[in-house]
Amino acid sequence: MAAGTALIYDEEMTKYKLLWVDPACKIEAPERLTVSHEALVRSGLADRCVSIPVREATDEDILLVHSEEYLEAVKKTPYMTLEDLKEFTLHYGDVYFHPNIYHCAKLAAGATLQLVDSVMMAKVRNGMALVRPPGHHSMRSAANGFCVFNNVAIAAQYAKQKYGLKRVLIVDWDVHHGQGVQYCFEDDPSVLYFSWHRYEHQKFWPNLRESDFDSVGKEKGAGFTINVPWNDVRMQNSDYLSVFCHVLLPVAYEFSPDLVLVSAGFDSAIGDPEGEMCATPDIFAHLTHLLMNLAGGKVCAVLEGGYNLTSLAQSVCQTVQTLLGEPAPRPANLEGPCKSALESLHCVRSAHRQYWSCLKHADNTNVSIFRKTLVMQISNKKSDEQKCKYHIPVCLKQGCGDMSGFMHAVLGLLLPLGYEYDPSLVLLVQMPDSGLSDSVWQHLIGLLQGLAQGHTLVLMQVRRPTASSLLGEAAPSLGQLHAPLPEDVEAIESLRHKLKADWKLLQTTGKDETVKKS
Ligand code: X5A
Ligand code: ZN
């Protein structure tokens, strides 16, 4: 295996900036690159890396991802007046142009390709490219989100073409969704795109429906796009690690990539004004470390976002230090993932169960039913195992048959849990073979009427299928339905016509049915 870590950087990429007032764009400043590079130099990390020169991406490289029309349009920007640049910028979302940005964008994409070349030609084991402008938001024919050319997407296509790679993994740990990368590979099973991103149920930029967990890729590429939406801010180290352990890594090992590209944005770190997350810079040491056993260690990290200069510089150092082979520091306070992260995790795993065998046996039960429902099941079956916090199987030797044991469970478990859970309805279900005596049943009903302001629904002698439906299991298919009896259809239809003046949802045509009864 090759040794060494490449560092690819050129000061030229600091030589463009926002030339007018735009609050959305002012955070994308040249200092992002200078502080990151200075931190690497000051810590001695830069010296331990193999320094590789940048190059300009060629038209051919850029056309691997972008359209000719778009490339030609961007090519004109160095000659534009300030007014023309402002006007050109208006065609796109949250991005700005500058007379030197086309040059820098060619260097950013070219730096990424230099990194891929040095890793693929085994000059180094892995490496990082410090680049501006970032890439993951730019699309085939559009600049977007500070991005002009899609550095990582171009690199993936380039690596497939030049080195005949069968599978490339793109890990996008930037706090924004790299929709440009997603669009580029959504029907391509040779590129697995993973992204987590601040989403807040589509309230956060870029506010796309297709950033949610149920966008999994299309056609042959179904299952090869993995989106983890963060529906809350302040995600922490445990949330990030959980998603790596329970989604990305199992799938990545199953995918078995030939190369790993990281869209390494550090706006997912604490202090960032965009992300508003709480993960500490040392988590990036762990994220990096966890990827370094894939693809024989061929990991190329490419800078994307990151707008808190302190947090950014520290995170870059953690990443490079780990690429160099330093052991990762002990991660700060690891409690479990938060509720919102668990919800996202569950949704992503469910959405991908059908595509990845590592997720097939995961969360096999319909846990969602238990979110709104606290289920306590008293039986003599040891086999019932707890499905989640809100599912409490209680195994008594004689089930409900022994009065003392049963009352012990009711008073010691069911009542306190019921009071803490504070339900709005109590549903009591008695199975036919429960063995429960009438008097115990009467006590149970009486005790539970203290909950839910007395709203109690009692189901006696319930048949097995009723219980399974109440627990959220799918009903078996009814098979093909034949046509109903004509006299039944007639009776139902005439009733519907009689009732539809009073009940809007019974109406099926616009004619004279909107007339209200006076
Ligand atoms: C690369 C990156 C963020 C754009 C935010 C626009 N772009 N509101 O982090
Ligand atoms: Zn970002």
| pTM across the whole model | 0.75
What pLDDT digit, counting tens, does each position of 112-163 carry?
Answer: 999 999 999 999 999 999 999 999 999 999 999 999 999 999 999 999 999 9
What's residue 438's pLDDT? 85
What's residue 518's pLDDT? 40
What pLDDT digit, counting tens, does each position of 232-256 carry?
Answer: 999 999 999 999 999 999 999 999 9
Q: What is the mean pLDDT of residues 471-490?
A: 79
What pLDDT digit, counting tens, does each position of 407-416 carry?
Answer: 888 888 888 8
Write down all domains in the chain, each with its CATH number in brackets.
5-339 (3.40.800.20), 366-506 (3.40.800.20)
Q: What is the mean pLDDT of residues 501-507?
A: 81
d(CA 155, CA 133): 15
301-335 CB burial, b ≥16 within 10 A, e <16:
bbbbbbbbbebbbbbbbbbbbbbbeeebeebeeee
Percent pLDDT > 70 in the chain is 95
Give the Cα-Cα-Cα angle 118, 178, 51 (nearest 5 degrees): 20
Q: Which residues surround ligand 2, an ion (CB under 5 A)?
A: 174, 176, 265, 267, 305
State the ligand closest to the CA atom of 28. Answer: 1
Ligand 1 center to 1 CA (angstroms): 36
What's residue 479's pLDDT? 78
What's residue 367's pLDDT? 53
d(CA 270, CA 237): 10
Cβ burial, residue 113 (10 Å; 0-12/13-18/19+): buried
| 476, 483 contact by CB (below 8 A) | no
Pull the structure tokens for residue 137. Answer: 């938001």
Ligand 1 center to 267 CA (angstroms): 9
Q: Name the amino acid, one letter, at 165.
A: L
d(CA 470, CA 426): 13
Ligand 1 center to 384 CA (angstroms): 48
Ligand 2 center to 399 CA (angstroms): 56
Contacts of 221 (CB under 8 A, 6+ apart): 185, 186, 187, 188, 189
Q: What is the mean pLDDT of residues 77-91?
A: 98
Q: Is the pLDDT of residue 40 over 70?
A: yes
Task: Name residue 378's beta-bridge partners.
Answer: 394
- Which of 18, 26, 27, 28 gets mutated to test ligand 1 (max ligand atoms within 8 A of its CB)? 28
**How confident is the prediction for the chain on average, in pLDDT?**
91
Q: What is the mean pLDDT of residues 440-467?
A: 82
Q: Is the pLDDT of residue 186 over 50?
A: yes
The number of helix segments (H) and strand segments (E) in the chain equals 18, 12
Ligand 1 pocket (Cβ < 6 Å) reads 24, 94, 134, 137, 145-147, 174, 176, 205, 265, 267, 274, 304-305
What's residue 513's pLDDT? 45
* CA 175 to ligand 1: nearest atom: 9
State the ligand closest to the CA atom of 206. Answer: 1
Of 119-123, 318-322, 460-464, least confident by mean pLDDT is: 460-464
Q: What is the mean pLDDT of residues 13-29?
A: 98
- Which of 274, 304, 307, 311 gets mutated to test ligand 1 (max ligand atoms within 8 A of its CB)? 274
What's residue 227's pLDDT? 98
* CA 274 to ligand 1: nearest atom: 5
3-state class (DSSP) for residue 511: coil
Q: What is the dihedral of CA 405, 406, 411, 417, to 10 degrees?
A: 120
Q: Whose CA is nearest to atom 7 of ligand 1?
A: 145
What pLDDT digit, counting tens, does each position of 365-414 carry?
Answer: 555 556 668 888 888 887 667 767 778 888 888 888 888 888 888 888 88
- Which of 94, 152, 203 gets mutated to test ligand 1 (max ligand atoms within 8 A of its CB)? 94
**Strand 375-379 with 391-395, pairing:** parallel
Give the Cα-Cα-Cα angle 224, 229, 231 (nearest 5 degrees): 170
Q: Whose CA is nearest to atom 9 of ligand 1?
A: 305
Ligand 1 center to 440 CA (angstroms): 63
Of 169-178, 207-216, 294-303, 492-501, least confident by mean pLDDT is: 492-501
- DSSP code of 382? T
Which helix (H) or strand (E) segment holds residue 128: the answer is strand 126-129
Q: Is 137 a catalytic residue?
A: yes
Ligand 2 center to 340 CA (angstroms): 21
State the ligand closest to the CA atom of 23. Answer: 1
Which helix (H) or strand (E) segment holds residue 289: the answer is helix 283-291
One of 37, 66, 136, 137 is an active-site residue; which one?
137
Q: Whose CA is nearest to atom 4 of ligand 1?
A: 145
Ligand 2 center to 414 CA (angstroms): 48
